[in-house]
Amino acid sequence: MAALLALISAALYGAADFLGGIAARRAPVVPVVTLGQGTGVVLLLALMPLLPPASPSTADLSWGVAAGLAGGAGVAWLYRALAIGTMAIVAPVTAVCAVAIPVAVGLILGERPGVLTLIGIMTALLSIVLVSQQPVESRGAEVRTSRLPAGVGIALLSGVAIGVFFLCLAQTGADAGMWPLVAARVASTTLFALGGVVTGASFVLPVRALALATVAGALDVAANALYLLAARRGALSVVVTLVSLYPASTVLLAKVFLGERFSRIQAVGIVCALAAVLLVVGSS
């Protein structure tokens, strides 16, 4: 059951990222993220009376707030990266960084990675190098440059923040129900709403961007809830492995609806990134 929940969560995350990235191409990132996070709060509060009673502790809610701040920042950076870069490149880079965080924490706590994990880490580094080979045209021939493609640098930051989100949310207890997720969404919504007010951003979005941001927020919070349930029912390493396959749906949607193209070496890098997601935590 945990594996199924994680796979559905991954599919929803990928779809939410795709829609959020499109919305961020039509409107400023801060209002888009604020609306998406706020949509999650409304949906969660509407569903809470229908869920079994829960008794969250102060620690559970604190972990939820920490997850919300990290996750909100991760989503904002991801939407920005998806808006300015190639989705098929940005999404896998983010996923690689997201799964690297649990591995790093494990090393700090004294864990010793196995052979497959080490291979995964090296594969992850290789994938980042490969996708960074931006193709440019030179007198009709394609050549490569070492300059990072648009959005990849921001995608790296996003991946780190999302990895912290996964870790924080997984620290909450089963008795807390969905309240840590409510705390997370309230914290992230408040953060970006205040940021928008301070920067003078307009929260009046074009109709299409408004619709995309709302649907992205609903899908994202559904993915959050499924991840939380999966993490409480199964081994975290397995759950994170499956959830981190979310770039697959983002890449597929970008290929089908946006007709995105990338060079062969970047395609190899994307495959390596997805393979690294499996290797890094699949053996832990």
Average pLDDT of adjacent 10-residue blocks, the chain of 284 residues? 88 95 94 96 93 93 97 94 88 85 73 75 78 56 58 91 93 94 96 93 93 96 95 81 84 87 81 81 61
Q: pTM of the predicted model, to two decimals?
A: 0.85
What is the C-alpha separation between 263 and 272, in angstroms, rounded? 14
What is the C-alpha separation between 198 and 274, in angstroms, rounded? 38
Residue 282: what pLDDT?
64
The answer to whether the beta carbons of residues 269 and 130 sit under 8 Å apart is yes
Side-chain half-sphere exposure of 75, counting CA atoms within 13 A: 38
Residue 138: what pLDDT?
46
The SS3 assignment for 256 reads helix
Helix residue ranges per DSSP H, the chain:
2-26, 29-47, 58-84, 87-108, 115-131, 152-170, 179-199, 207-233, 236-243, 247-253, 264-282
- DSSP state for residue 149 in the 8-state scheme: P
Q: In the beta sheet, which residues pair with residue 137? A: 142
Residue 176: what pLDDT?
96
Residue 106: what pLDDT?
67
Look at residues 135, 132, 134, 136 and name the one whose alpha carbon lies nearest to residue 152: 132
What is the C-alpha separation between 68 and 71, in angstroms, rounded? 5
Residues of the domain holding 63: 2-282
Look at residues 136, 70, 124 and name the one whose alpha carbon lies nearest to residue 92: 124
The answer to whether the beta carbons of residues 34 and 196 sit under 8 Å apart is yes
What is the C-alpha separation between 219 and 213, in angstroms, rounded? 10
Total domain count for the chain? 1
